[in-house]
Amino acid sequence: MSESLPGATLLAAANLTKNYGNSTALAGVSLQVRAGEATAVMGASGSGKTTLLHCLAGIVLPDAGTVRYSGAAPVEVSSLNDGARSALRRTEFGFVFQQGLLIPELTAGENVALALMLNGTPRPAAEQQAVAALAALGLAGMEGRRIGELSGGQAQRVAIARAQVNGARVLFADEPTGALDSRTSAEVMALLLQSVAGTGRALVVVTHDPEVARWCSRVVTLADGRIVADTAEVAR
């Protein structure tokens, strides 16, 4: 896969609005996500952070506004159908959520291999790549363990391996350290940041934790569905 140059815009959201019944989740958000950048999205509970992440990733469609993804072939995420959006998520994006989204009945290796197999990699090759991806994240020899046999920090490493193994250009993380102690949080964040800093990839991380935000190169703050602060704007 060709990589974007650091600094190139990977995702451009313009004037996103999203309402759920009477509650406004997004009230006109415009944001560009650039390669090499780690963006923390902060704000009070209910300010629209997860909704923004879901709109950027094509999990949720905005009521109005657009999301453009500049991958190998630029696409308007917000006008793709369900099937095309899931294909985009599978091939171009990676996800790390608080609960990992891992399948507890499968081993660490199988969880990672599955992501590759869904994209057409034959099982033996997928298993080999999974073992290597886990080893690169400090989990050598743990591929045979079920998720329940791992610590919270180890399970998040498996989630990171699974999110990255297809060469995702944008990693989306929603409270990835929410269930971890501060030392393990720091380790997990270091691994997430390492995968984007100075590369053609980007990280968008929703967090309540100021420590997590401090490690990111940019902090965007939401209030009532709007961006009220953006450190990238201050820097410019």
Ligand X SMILES: Nc1ncnc2c1ncn2[C@@H]1O[C@H](COP(=O)(O)OP(=O)(O)OP(=O)(O)O)[C@@H](O)[C@H]1O
Q: Which residues bind ligand X (CB under 6 A)?
A: 20, 23, 25, 43, 45-51
Residue 133, both tokens: 């991806």
Closer CB to ligand X, residue 49 or residue 201?
49
192 vs 59: CA distance, rounded Å: 21
Nearer to ligand X, 46 or 200 (CB): 46
Q: By C-beta, is 23 or 151 nearer to ligand X?
A: 23
- Would the CA dihedral through 113, 115, 120, 121 be positive or negative? negative
Q: For residues 27 and 232, which CB has a smaller minimum distance to ligand X in the complex?
A: 27
Q: How far is the CB of 26 from ligand X (least distance, A)?
A: 8
Q: How far is the CB of 47 from ligand X (least distance, A)?
A: 4
Q: Across the strands, what pairs with 205?
A: 40, 173
Give residues with Cβ within 8 angstroms of 118, minimum separation 6: 90
Other residues' Cβ atoms within 10 Å of the Cβ of residue 179: 15
CB atoms within 10 A of CB 220: 24
Shorter beta-carbon distance to ligand X: residue 47 or 78: 47
Both tokens of 179, joined, read 């269930």
CB of 20 to ligand X, least distance (A): 3
Q: How far is the CB of 217 from ligand X (least distance, A)?
A: 21
Q: Which residues of 67-77 are buried (b: 16+ CB within 10 A; e: fewer)?
A: bbbbbeeebeb
Give CA 150 to chain center in angstroms. 22
In angstroms, give the least distance from the CB of 155 to ligand X. 20
